[in-house]
Amino acid sequence: MLHQGRSSRLGGLACMAASILLTACGGEENAYQAPPPPSVTAIKPPLHTFTPYQDIVATVRPVETIEVRARVSGFLKTRDFTPGQEVSRDDVLFTLETNEYQAAVNGARADLAAANAGYQLDVELSRKYQNAYDEGAATDYELLESRARVEVSAAAVQQAQAKLERAELDLSYTTVTCPIDGRIGEELVSVGNLVGRGDPTLLAKVSTIDPMKVYFDVPEKGYLDFRSRTRAAGRDPDELRTYPFKLILPNGRPYGIEGRLDFIDNEIDRSTGTMRMRGTIPNPDGILRDGLFVRARLEQPSQETLALPESAILVDMAGEYVYLVGPDDIVSRQGVEIGVTIDGLTEVLKGIDENSVVIVDGILRARPGAPVTPEIVGLKEAMERIDPGSKIAETP
């Protein structure tokens, strides 16, 4: 009896539990709730003025470098400059011993005096032969001979005069003067050495300091882009005056004076794929020195085009593209053609317009064909969200 009662109570509890479960399961079924569309930041690309430039390693050279040489032989007597100082045209730089050349001048002067005396004598004799011939006291041969002696004496005078001029010229070469205004380097021969024996001896070098030349090699792609952009701006790409450049010094500071190109080579260097260019830049303070390595900043013509943050441009095998937000907030992929990137902003040439809504932040949450929740802001605010520490580009 006891066993039967316990079984009855257990059966009642089981029925009660089953009833509770059936009541719970008999309610309304749970429906799947889709997550909301992801939030993204988007902008309508504004117009922005881009001024592209290329920084190219360049070398500073003087406009002229003159080698100062001994034009006559002799022992170097004096050095009359301080190495490294600025010098002017006709300043005395060196002197050579003059004894030998002064003696040559004195001898040439004596020879000229003798030649003049002989000439005067022959002229007087010829005059007398002429008078004697007129009186029948001299023959034709004697008269012709006297005239020939006059001509020979005149030639001797000219020869003696030329020798004197040459002797005086050699004497002048014993004083070595500066050929140009500029800066002189160190002396290459010490005082007391014999110079000019055989070949003209190099004594020093003088270089101009204002203006200076700048040589740099532009990559062929950059050169072609520059020509294309210059032509698009309505300027002649072959006119050298359309190529201004600036210098960035080795310490990173900009050189405050603008230069102009004066030479573009007529061919691309096949070994390096670069185009050699040369410009002239003022150097009034003498900061630029021969051999200084700088960066030449070659600016291209400015152009107003659409601008997007650099991070908004995506790339795949098909090329560059962006994500657009359509009228129904549906994402679509749009290919674009881009230009230069400056200070975090990329120039967009084709593919979108000013009314396009481009996703610039939250790009990883967007999928083509899927909806998003866009927040449309200005370019400046978008740049602050993307990279708060970046340089904010001011746009109209």
Helices (H), the chain: 2-25, 99-134, 140-172, 220-232, 379-386
Higher local confidence (pLDDT), 231 or 353: 353
Distances (CA, A) of 255 to 62, 110, 280: 17, 62, 13
SS3 labels along 318-333:
CEEEEEEECCCCEEEE
- pLDDT, greater one: 391 or 66: 66
The per-residue pLDDT for 32 is: 67
State phi, psi for 213 to the nearest 5 degrees.
-100, 150
DSSP-derived letter for residue 30 is P
Residue 76's pLDDT band (cuts 50, 70, 90) = very high
Q: Quick one: pLDDT band at residue 226, thresholds 50, 70, 90? A: confident
β-bridge partners, 104: none
Q: Tell me the domains of the chain and their CATH numbers.
A: 39-50+304-386 (2.40.420.20), 53-62+211-299 (2.40.30.170), 67-98+173-207 (2.40.50.100), 99-172 (1.10.287)
- Judge whether residue 337 has pLDDT over 90: yes
27, pLDDT greater than 60:
no
The answer to whether residue 9 scores a pLDDT higher than 80 is: no
Q: Mean pLDDT across the chain, nearest whole number?
A: 86
CB atoms within 10 A of CB 94: 22
So what's the pLDDT on residue 26?
Answer: 47
Q: What percent of the chain has pLDDT over 70?
A: 89
Give the closest residue to 171 by CA, choosing from 103, 81, 109. 103
69, pLDDT greater than 90: yes
Burial of 88 (0-12, 13-18, 19+ CB in 10 A): exposed
Which band of pLDDT confidence, cut at 50, 70 and 90, is reported for residue 4? very low
pLDDT of the residue at 38:
92
Gap between the terminal Cα atoms of the chain: 98
Tell me how far apart the alpha carbons of residues 162 and 31 are, in angstroms, rounded to a whole number.
121
Q: Is the model's pTM score more than 0.75?
A: no
Q: What is the pLDDT of residue 94?
A: 95
User: 153-200: per-residue pLDDT in tens?
Assistant: 999 999 999 999 999 999 999 999 999 999 999 999 999 999 988 888
Per-residue pLDDT band for 227 (boundaries 50, 70, 90) equals confident
Q: Is 294 in a helix, a strand, or coil? A: strand
pLDDT higher than 70, residue 16: no
What gap in Å lies between CA 56 and CA 54, rounded to an integer? 6
Q: Which of 114, 109, 112, 72 is nearest to 94 (CA)?
A: 72
- What pLDDT is stored for residue 360 in this prediction? 93
Q: Which residues contact 307 (CB under 8 A, 6 or more apart)?
A: 45, 46, 47, 48, 50, 345, 346, 347, 348, 379, 393, 395
Contacts of 66 (CB under 8 A, 6+ apart): 179, 180, 182, 205, 206, 207
pLDDT in tens, 112-158: 999 999 999 989 998 988 888 888 888 888 889 888 998 999 999 99
Q: Compute the average pLDDT of residues 235-260.
A: 84
